[in-house]
Structure 1
């Protein structure tokens, strides 16, 4: 097996692929291939937003990247809401293409569940609007430079991406290497629940990071190291 890896890093909700920049640069400096797509309707692709954009759209963003870049032996990483995307994308990517799947303080929901089921506060915030507003960085415990960056690069979330329910047949479970990484200071109880659920399972690896939720902004070097361990 080559010691060089191909990473596809999927960002979370209300942000963009730019959030991976420092971590991606560190991985590339070590000779790895890294893709950081921005999902439809967010960031520089905000002009494509609307109720037509749903979880399936985002899964296709990732699956089509893998297809058209002809990626093989891929390390597929999802942060936060990105866990929903990689779960759905795994169903669309040919089996054997993903060698490692990583949930980085990410949603790990089951078939028939949606983000609004796990985080009803976002449903309360959106009402009848087409987009979910960006939350305050203080919600995640951030202030100062990181908070300012989050505010500059945050992006409203197309509402149907949180409303569409996952359709799973077990593709993610068949990926050879599976890792869940918990941010110890994220303050989001659901992620602790996912970690506790997966830790006893011998088919999963689990790690913790002494950071808040957005570890790629807070600790990019440590994030890169965690992803490299998950790739092996």
Structure 2
């Protein structure tokens, strides 16, 4: 059986993986889907010091202390930065990286660097200056027509994200180990997606496998069954 570590994006938490994690566990796989420091059930740990490196260490230490190996590491959106940092720190523990509608960053890049000027300004406009100016409030979520509870559920569980996490530049020691397989999942119904060009470019590269899912950005909530299929394929599970 395979080992999966699922890393949520900005403003989310372990709750967003519940259906995907349950489906994988029913099939006998080992699944970890922790909330990152300062978010969701760990929101009480939020502070001005929480940054991208904190989140990378959240996952590095989980893998080390649970003594995991041959891991399929999946990161959603912002967590593309997190899983890239993890792959730089502990490549020997990883089998596959799955970028779930996520950033694929380079050394010296922050999430604010990687996004468009319009989206960057939108993120910064939601900085909560009334509470010290070190947290970014969640953006509004447009409801999916097939799930009338989507907006209520996501907005009620989403929490502010530490600003330093999206400001801090990623530090890498070199290229990601070429023995780690890399997969990109594009959410094709994400109307304002910043990943269209990236997905198209990766399709031209032999060392990437790219999947398209008819989903909004939160693929794990919109199309959990299809995501499970992709994760199993990434782990070479038939």
TM-score range, shorter chain: over 0.9
Please give the root-mean-square deviation of Cα atoms over the aligned residues, in Å. 1.6
Unaligned runs of 5+ in 2: none
Residue 97 of structure 2: which of 94, 101, 124 is its match?
Answer: 101
TM-score where L is the length of structure 1: 0.93
1:1-232 superposed matches below 5 A? 4-93=1-90, 95-117=91-113, 118=115, 119-120=119-120, 121-126=122-127, 129-138=133-142, 144-232=148-236
User: Are 1:101 and 1:175, in contact at CA under 8 Å, matched by a contact in 2?
Assistant: no
SS at match of 2:81: helix
Superimposed CA distance per residue, residues 148-167 of structure 1 (whole angstroms, 9 cap, x where no aligned partner): 11012101000100000111
Tell me the CA shift for residue 91 of structure 1: 1.7
Distance change >3 Å, CA 170–CA 209, structure 1 → 2? farther
Task: Tell me if the contact between 1:116 and 1:123 (Cα under 8 Å) persists in the aligned partners.
Answer: no
For residue 125 of structure 1, report the CA deviation from its aligned partner.
Answer: 2.6
Task: Name the CA distance, whole Å, in 1 between partners of 2:98 and 2:206.
Answer: 15
Q: How far is the alpha carbon of 1:144 from its aligned partner?
A: 2.2
Q: Distance in 1 between matches of 2:177 and 2:104?
A: 12
Native 8 Å contact 2:128 2:135 kept in 1 = no
Q: 1:101·1:172 contact (CA, 8 Å) conserved in 2?
A: no
Distance 1:167 1:39, change over 3 A: same
**1:81-134, Cα deviation, whole Å (9 max, x unpaired):** 1111101111221x3210100001011121111111214121233275110001
Point out the more displaced range, 124-133 or 72-81: 124-133
Change (3 A) 1:8 1:105: same
Q: Unpaired segments of 5 or more residues in structure 1?
A: none
Q: TM-score, length-normalised on structure 2?
A: 0.90
